[in-house]
Chain A
């Protein structure tokens, strides 16, 4: 914020890209070490404690299964990801529009927000079977709806917070320039809300994937990840189910990272982007 005052003596923020990437990589070292250790411990623990493979297979088994079925698994994952992405786009898009409306007409916000908050307490996952009944269980629509509903609330709350948490002086300044509501939204409220919106989008990217998979558990085509994981379990093919979970993780993490990258590119002005 502009109220704190770190002293910059040299003009222009340009920092060598190579240096930045190098530092990034070094930042990742501890996390990579933890991952390697965790997988090694897991790998060693299964034979050591005689854990049955239907409870937990070894990572190497999961990886082998994934690798031999990678074509089918990644296609199924893509199919699920499409649903997640559709739900994410619809849910988040609507949430941002609603947040804009609620921020513009505050009485509307006061009238609707209590219900929005109450609606958030509803376990939306529980509606997955009903969504399947409303739409066809074999269509993507029912999964998209569940993913969209899950995405809606985190984005709405964060966007609304960002749109309304503008410092009063910032608005008075716009007022002194005789700026209209559209200019105030475009030049102050929306930029101010962007970091908040991205926080919501990152949360909902993960939720979208969860929503799509869980909705598929209640019925979907065999080309979907959720259906695949469930059916492998039913035929006691545990490593295959675990490989499916691995694929779900990969898509989920990829989705999250894509949003995080978009955030970095959009919010270049933030100090944290450089640190």
Chain B
């Protein structure tokens, strides 16, 4: 059974068509990247999966139920570009917030927080407040929080977009390790072709006006991926393939123009 099933989804904001007739199925354990230029609707597609935005037409099934029910059942964790930590909560309190809302008892929460701190390698920082952490550390807390309640699906909206290249590559490695460990399905929005290829099992290339899927690239790099993966010839071939797909999607002036005059 697919974890996410997007069926003929269209989303309009007024006269702007953010998503047009999107079909996408995501299988359990997949790591899917959504990539495309600004305005292609990749974030909107992610938000539709998380029931943070309604669809105008079509439906989204998550874990075999409508996205809304999946949200109410806390079937997914979400990570935004900004870590969105609550400033008044310490690291451990931030991580345990979803657990509090899910009414876990104190003991179980403490045990899980400790587990998550170890997973994201922030043990020792549990009593720090967010402002005392670097951007990369804040984002790790955010990931720990999203995974704390063991959601089947992890939605990530450009989580490393605001970080420097070095930190980003390190967190990419960490994310893969966490993904293997947690076994959850990941949907990852990014601007970076290299990041998408390195992380994903499949890269979904989108194009703008109206937002649609222009192609899907299967990433057949062997698992687990390491720093050496980035230097393999196959990695570069796939990067090139995604880049060409992106350009192909963007170079459809005819279609763009008809939309603009519509």
Min Cβ gap B93→A in Å is 10
Q: CA–CA, A179 to B98, complex, Å?
A: 9
Digitize B115-133: 1 where CB-to-A-CB distance is under 8 Å, 0 elsewhere.
Answer: 0000000001101111111
Digitize B74-88: 1 where CB-to-A-CB distance is under 8 Å, 0 elsewhere.
Answer: 101110101111111
Min Cβ gap A194→B in Å is 8
Q: CA–CA, A8 to B134, complex, Å?
A: 6
Residues of chain B with a CB closer than 8 A to A1's CB: 87, 131
Residues of chain A with a CB closer than 8 A to B98's CB: 177
Given A6-B131, A188-B86, CB of A176 within 8 Å of CB of B125:
no
Kindly state whether residue A22 has any CB partner on chain B within 8 Å: no
* CB pair A173 B88 closer than 8 Å: no
Q: CA–CA, A213 to B98, complex, Å?
A: 50
Given A169-B82, A169-B84, A188-B86, CB of A13 within 8 Å of CB of B74:
no
Kindly state whether residue A191 has any CB partner on chain B within 8 Å: yes
Kindly state whether residue B50 has any CB partner on chain A within 8 Å: yes
Chain A contacts with B in 1-58, Cβ cutoff 8 A: 1-8, 11-13
Q: CA–CA, A172 to B138, complex, Å?
A: 18
* CB pair B50 A5 closer than 8 Å: no
Residues of chain B with a CB closer than 8 A to A11's CB: 124-125, 127-128
Kindly state whether residue B97 has any CB partner on chain A within 8 Å: yes
Residues of chain B with a CB closer than 8 A to A187's CB: 86, 97, 100-101
Interface size band for A = 20 to 34
Please pick, from B85, B88, B128, the residue contacting A8 in the complex, using a CB distance under 8 A: B128
Chain A contacts with B in 218-275, Cβ cutoff 8 A: 267, 269-271
Kindly state whether residue A170 has any CB partner on chain B within 8 Å: yes
Residues of chain B with a CB closer than 8 A to A194's CB: 88
Please pick, from B78, B87, B138, the residue contacting A5 in the complex, using a CB distance under 8 A: B138
Min Cβ gap A186→B in Å is 10
Chain B contacts with A in 104-158, Cβ cutoff 8 A: 124-125, 127-135, 137-138
Given A13-B132, A169-B82, CB of A175 within 8 Å of CB of B101:
no
Q: CA–CA, A270 to B130, complex, Å?
A: 10
Kindly state whether residue A167 has any CB partner on chain B within 8 Å: yes
For B70, the closest partner residue in chain A by CB is: A178
* CB pair A13 B133 closer than 8 Å: no
Residues of chain B with a CB closer than 8 A to A108's CB: none
Residues of chain A with a CB closer than 8 A to B134's CB: 5-8
* CB pair B74 A178 closer than 8 Å: yes
Q: CA–CA, A113 to B202, complex, Å?
A: 52
Kindly state whether residue B168 has any CB partner on chain A within 8 Å: no
Given A176-B76, A177-B97, A178-B101, CB of A2 within 8 Å of CB of B87:
yes
Kindly state whether residue B52 has any CB partner on chain A within 8 Å: yes
The interface of chain A, by Cβ under 8 A from chain B, is: 1-8, 11-13, 167, 169-170, 172-179, 183, 187-188, 191-192, 194, 267, 269-271
- The 6 lowest CB-CB distance pairs between A and B, nearest first, are A5-B135, A8-B132, A2-B130, A11-B124, A7-B134, A191-B88
The interface of chain B, by Cβ under 8 A from chain A, is: 50, 52, 71-74, 76-78, 80, 82-90, 97-98, 100-102, 124-125, 127-135, 137-138, 162
Given contacts A3-B162, A13-B129, A173-B80, list 19 more A-B pairs with CB under 8 A: A1-B131, A5-B135, A11-B125, A169-B80, A169-B84, A170-B86, A172-B80, A173-B78, A173-B84, A174-B101, A175-B71, A176-B76, A176-B78, A178-B74, A187-B97, A191-B86, A194-B88, A267-B88, A271-B129
